[in-house]
Amino acid sequence: MAKRANSEGSVYRRKGDGLYVATLRLENGTRRAFAGRTRAIATAKAEAAKAEIIRTGSLATGRESAGAYLARWVESIRATVRPNTHDGYERTLRLHVIPELGHIALRRLGPADLAAAYQRMLDKGLSPRSVQLAHVILHRALRQAERWGLVNRNVARLVDPPRPERTEIRPLSPDELRTLLEAARGDHHEALYVVAVTTGMRWGELTGLRWRDVDLAAGVVTVRQQAQRTRGGWAFVEPKTAKGRRAITIPALAVAALRQQRGDGDAVVQLPIPDALVFPNEAGRPLERQNFARRHFRPLLDRAGLRPIRFHDLRHSAATLLLSEGVHPKVVQERLGHATISTTMDIYSHVMPTMQQETAARLDRFFEAG
């Protein structure tokens, strides 16, 4: 008699109730039994379970906990998301979600459980934005569980997460930007500050920029990738959206700073290799955000006599400067790499009242001249 293949079992009639039972042998050597009034029903149940194993890689049971499923789910999406996104999902689930909800059976998880867990997270000092992120991750995980037939509905759809407080943007003024760049003159990272202020590029875009993506003759910098720090090391990933992959025309100030960064003024010019990073650390790898802020950016702000800000606020400062100078919001959107113009308008709505006042003044001048 031929040996049964893995996951194959037998069908027999059980004494006592007379039901047919189909067994299924799992990878770990255990067996699962599926009963039915007829041989066909019992066999169909076992075949459905076998199909679930093929589809999901495991066989969930009514007793599977939410914690076990979430740990399994986050591992299953590793190859489908960015490395730092996966790290963030795993960390949020491990530190905040699973300790609150992991003991509950997946099929018994209800909206009230999620609402109570969110409140406990807030009571422990977690920010509303962090709790909202936990909700987003749970929603995605339970949506997949619903598709796989592990739960009857995605209960996260029935729960409203806390609304995060809107962070007030405090960009540097034009005078403060001039003060910053004046203080950075001759600094080892002067070109980085100049490019950040004149392009509004994100930190990951700046630290992932390679010389092959810089055309100084045309005065264009092309954003093709971002540098991301993960638990496994550095990763270079493409922008999230098509708008994120973009060419940015830079002013003469930035061209000059990049020429100096490249070493054009040296007696013997040795151009860097195309794949080399434009703004590397001493080892040729991307700059570490926190180390850079502590060792370089904050001391620069102190020397300039400026208030403490994040490096990311240079991006906000660049956008605000362009809008206040009358640059069309669509152009600002394209330079920043926002997916939609509504995103740009929403983030920088604080500039709009001034623009409205200037528009009204221009209309007054037009009609008075007429």
> Which tokens sit at 4?
């049964």
Phi, psi of 149, deg, nearest 5: 80, 15
Residues 308, 347: one domain? yes
Select from 95, 125, 158 the last residue of a domain: 158
pLDDT digits (tens, 9 = 90+) for 268-323: 556 678 889 999 999 999 999 999 999 999 999 999 999 999 999 999 999 999 99
In a domain, 301, yes or no: yes
Number of domains in the chain: 3
166, part of any domain: no
Whether residues 320 and 266 share a domain: the answer is: yes
User: Per-10-residue mean pLDDT for the chain, 370 residues long?
Assistant: 48 86 72 78 75 57 80 90 90 94 92 95 93 96 87 92 82 95 96 97 96 95 92 86 94 95 68 86 92 96 96 95 89 93 85 67 70
Contact assessment for residue 272 and residue 262, using Cβ atoms and an 8 Å cutoff: yes
Kindly state the tokens that stand for 19: 């039901």
Q: How far apart are CA 169 and CA 100, in angstroms?
A: 33
Residues 187 and 327 in one domain: yes
131 and 48 co-located in one domain: no
Q: By the 8 A CB rule, do 222 and 247 touch?
A: yes
Domain shared by 45 and 124, yes or no: no
Answer yes or no: do 37 and 118 share one domain: no
In a domain, 33, yes or no: yes
Residue the block writes with tokens 């800000």: 309
- Hey, what are 27's tokens? 């990878």
Instruction: Specify the pLDDT at position 101.
Output: 94
| Full DSSP string of 186-211 | T-TTHHHHHHHHHH---HHHHHT-BG
Q: Do 151 and 275 share a domain, yes or no? A: no
Q: CA–CA separation, 340 vs 317, rounded Å?
A: 19
pLDDT of residue 314: 96
Q: Report the CATH number at residue 224.
A: 1.10.443.10
For residue 1, the model assigns a pLDDT of 37
Shared domain for 178 and 276, answered yes or no, is yes
Is the torsion defined by CA of 305, 308, 313, 314 positive or negative? positive
pLDDT of residue 312: 95
Give the single-character DSSP code of 61. -
Backbone angles phi, psi at 335, to 5 degrees: -70, -40
* CA–CA dist 360, 246 (Å, integer): 33
Is residue 324 within 8 Å of residue 332, measured between CB atoms?
no
Domain range enclosing 260: 174-361
- Domain CATH code at residue 126: 1.10.150.130
Q: Pick the closest to residue 130 from 169, 85, 164 (CA basis).
A: 164
**168 is a domain residue:** no
Flag whether 369 is in a domain: no
Residue pair 58/66 in contact (Cβ under 8 Å)? The answer is no
